Amino acid sequence: MVPPTPPHRHGSTVTTLAQARTLFWAGRSPRILAAGVAALLVARCALGGAPTWRDAAAAATMLAVFPFGEWAIHVYLLHLPPVPWRGRRVELVTAASHREHHERPHHLGLILLGPSEAVALLAGAVPLVVGTGVGLLAAAGVGVRLGPVLTAVLMTYVLILLYEWTHLLIHTAYRPRGRAYRAIHRGHRLHHFKNEHYWHGITSTVADRALGTSPDHRKVERSPTARTLRES
């Protein structure tokens, strides 16, 4: 029997990595994602054959693409405002959930993906993205092998799991030590508490720097809607 998700904890109550790990693995989505990683790893090993440069290229491609996909989802899906439809204002479930996260950023029960969202990513979004890439390569006359395709899917699963862990950790009271983690920690806190129109990366600052959404925070005005995402 799967244990229930732990009750709400305020971010200030989690001050160590050990506490954060315990809370993380108590959630359902990390276990679902980890199961997906394990399943793909088994599948890749069962296929046989030592990894080749094609596997390395597939993994490197997903590493390069992921920050921009993460950025785009944050900007265009999670921050999508309600739209008028048949006389009503309708909001996507994911956008509504993200709005609640902005309203209560210290509520650790609002950080992790829902089980259905995790499954949708593993079984729908990731295969669609990788399949699209495979289709483009095939259309260009590039031969595609199953092994590297599985490697690409596996790498993406790992990156999504990393996203979940990083996002949770940023919202705890654990203080960053490494330079890379300090950068994403600072950027995400600025996104929540200064201006929601900037600093959209979670696991990396690459997309923000490439797309111009990582300005000098001293030159950015404090947004009155950072905590509500509701435009006046």
Q: Where are the domains of the chain?
A: 29-219
Q: What's the pLDDT tens digit per position in 87-130?
A: 888 888 899 999 999 999 999 999 999 999 999 999 999 999 99
Query: How far is it, in rounded angstroms, from Cα 126 to Cα 160?
Result: 10
Residues 24-45 have a mean pLDDT of: 96
Tell me, what amino acid is at 171? H
Average pLDDT of the chain, as a whole number: 92
Are the CB atoms for 174 and 20 separated by under 8 Å?
yes
Instruction: Identify the pLDDT of residue 212.
Output: 96
Answer whether residue 8 shows pLDDT above 70.
no
pTM metric for this prediction: 0.91
Query: How far is it, in rounded angstroms, from Cα 71 to Cα 202?
Result: 8
* CA 67 vs CA 52, 75, 197, 198, 204: distances in Å: 24, 12, 17, 15, 6
